[in-house]
Amino acid sequence: MTFDEIIANRRSIRKFKKDPIKEEQIEAILDAGNKAPSAKNLQHWRFHVYQGEAKNNLLKFILKEFDKIAEPGVSKYARYSFQIMDEAPVAILVFSAQVMDHPARPDIQSVSAAILNMLLKAQELGIGSLWICDVLYIDEVIMKHVGAEMPLLAAISLGHPNESPESRTRLTVDDVTTWFE
Ligand SMILES: Cc1cc2nc3c(=O)[nH]c(=O)nc-3n(C[C@H](O)[C@H](O)[C@H](O)COP(=O)(O)O)c2cc1C
């Protein structure tokens, strides 16, 4: 698969098969994340990887806690994200180990770069992925539950895809670019 094909073919996957992912594939995905650029090379990303019973228990907890705060309207979509996480064999919680005191939060940008590397590596390996920020509805509750004293920024679900979604619409490069000469 060429680099262009990896970028062009990556999709957010929301239906996963139950089959586990090989350990070495998860490690390769983490390694790709760990090779991302980061502000001041601080490598802010930290990963908690959940599989098997640990993943099932985490999602049981998240769904229970989310249902306590769920409001009509917004939250049914968030619950859907958690159901997807429950279905996927691997859930990764992604944290920032060092909050940087600037409004543009370079640590978040660095962690985002790592997440994208991971999604692209997963695509290369034929593994489906979903970047999930709905965990932020209950981030503090999750952090306390897993004993993390650093901010939770996102979750990633990984698994063998059980769907082949069409590409989502995109603005054109012209729409999003201003050129100066
Ligand atoms: C920062 C970020 C947060 C996201 N959070 C969620 C989420 O909580 N639940 C979800 O189903 N998808 C989530 N997505 C996936 C987006 O919906 C998806 O990337 C977008 O619709 C484009 O589709 P594509 O990834 O297939 O190109 C998130 C994506 C990003 C980059």
Is the distance from the beta carbon of residue 85 to the nearest atom of ligand 1 less than 6 Å?
no
Q: What is the mean pLDDT of residues 15-19?
A: 97
Q: Which residue has the higher pLDDT, 41 or 71?
A: 41
| pLDDT per residue as tens digits for the range 87-112 | 999 999 999 999 999 999 999 999 99
CATH class of residue range 16-168: alpha beta
Burial of 29 (0-12, 13-18, 19+ CB in 10 A): buried
- List, edge to edge, every strand of the sheet that includes 90-96: 45-51, 90-96, 152-159, 128-132
Q: Which residue owns the Cα nearest ligand 1 atom 25?
A: 12
Structure pTM?
0.97
**Partners of 128 in beta bridges:** 159
Domain ranges of the chain: 16-168
| pLDDT per residue as tens digits for the range 48-57 | 999 999 999 9
How many angstroms is it from 180 CA to the middle of ligand 1?
31
Is the distance from the beta carbon of residue 170 to the nearest atom of ligand 1 less than 6 Å?
no
C-alpha 166/C-alpha 32 separation (Å) is: 25
DSSP category for residue 134: G
* CB-CB contact of 6 with 120 (8 Å): yes
Residue 72 has pLDDT above 80, yes or no: no
* CB-CB contact of 59 with 91 (8 Å): yes
